Structure 1
Amino acid sequence: MLRYLPLILSLALTIYCLVDCIQTDDLLVRNLPKIAWLLLVLLFPVIGPVAWLVAGRPSREAATQAGLTQQERWDLDRRRRGQGNGPGPRPPRGPDDDPEFLRGL
Structure 2
Amino acid sequence: MPRVLLIIAVVMLTVYCVVEVAQSRGYRVRAMPRWLWAFAVIALPVVGPVSWLLLGRPLKHRPQVRGHRAPDDDEDFLRGLH
The interval holding the TM-score normalised by the smaller chain is 0.7 to 0.9
Consecutive unaligned residues in structure 1, runs of 5 or more: 66-105
Q: Which residue of 1 aligns with 2:27?
A: 27
Is 1:7 the counterpart of 2:3 in the alignment?
no
More helix by share: 1
State the one-letter code of the partner of 2:59.
Answer: S
TM-score, normalised to structure 2, is 0.72
| Aligned counterparts, 1:77-92, within 5 A | none
User: Larger relative contact order (C-alpha < 8 A, sep ≥ 6)?
Assistant: 2
CA distance in 2, matches of 1:2, 1:32: 34
TM-score, normalised to structure 1, is 0.57
Q: Which residue of 1 aligns with 2:80?
A: none
| Secondary structure class of the residue paired with 1:27 | coil
Q: Which residue of 2 aligns with 1:49?
A: 49
How many angstroms does 1:11 deviate by?
0.1
How many angstroms does 1:28 deviate by?
0.5
How many angstroms does 1:2 deviate by?
2.7
| Secondary structure class of the residue paired with 2:27 | helix
Aligned identity (percent) is 40
Consecutive unaligned residues in structure 2, runs of 5 or more: 64-82
Give the root-mean-square deviation of aligned CA atoms. Answer: 1.1
Q: Which runs of 4+ in 1 moved over 6 A?
A: none
How many angstroms does 1:6 deviate by?
0.7
Greater Rg over alpha carbons, structure? 1
